Copies of this chain bind each other. A is one copy, B any other.
């Protein structure tokens, strides 16, 4: 597995407050990492999550699948990588992997399904998909 298999990767470092009483990163924090990587990816393609929200368009997550393969500990370095594809007419699929650095130990595999809503109702994510060239 290598960074070149993904269209986007982002580097992180575990912060102590993200670890729980087991001494490892709490499961929920991986969703934060995954989300932050997706948002940074979207921004890198000219899609601002908070600007969209101000226009009434929200990109929401409708399904999350996360396989936890290996824990992260205090101050571990890691990389969150992703690929994205269209799924049906209205959904966007993010495949995301987290690798500890520098040994590329596979920490998390995740599939995140997103959808677009305008004022709470599902809409086609055409503008977003165009910017993502999907």
A residues near B (Cβ < 8 Å) are 15-17, 19-23, 26-29, 31-32, 35-36, 39, 43, 48-50, 53, 58, 60-69, 71, 73-75
CB distance from A3 to the nearest CB of B (A): 20
Taken together as a complex, chains A and B put the C-alpha atoms of A58 and B71 apart, in Å, by 12
Oligomeric state, in copies: 4
- When distances are taken between beta carbons in the complex, the residues of chain B under 8 Å from A61 are 27, 68
Contact A50 B16 (CB under 8 A): yes
30 residue pairs bridging A and B, Cβ less than 8 Å apart: A15-B32, A15-B35, A15-B36, A16-B21, A16-B49, A16-B50, A17-B20, A17-B32, A19-B21, A19-B50, A21-B23, A21-B53, A22-B60, A23-B50, A27-B31, A27-B61, A27-B64, A28-B28, A28-B29, A31-B31, A48-B75, A49-B74, A50-B75, A60-B68, A62-B68, A63-B67, A63-B68, A64-B64, A64-B65, A64-B66
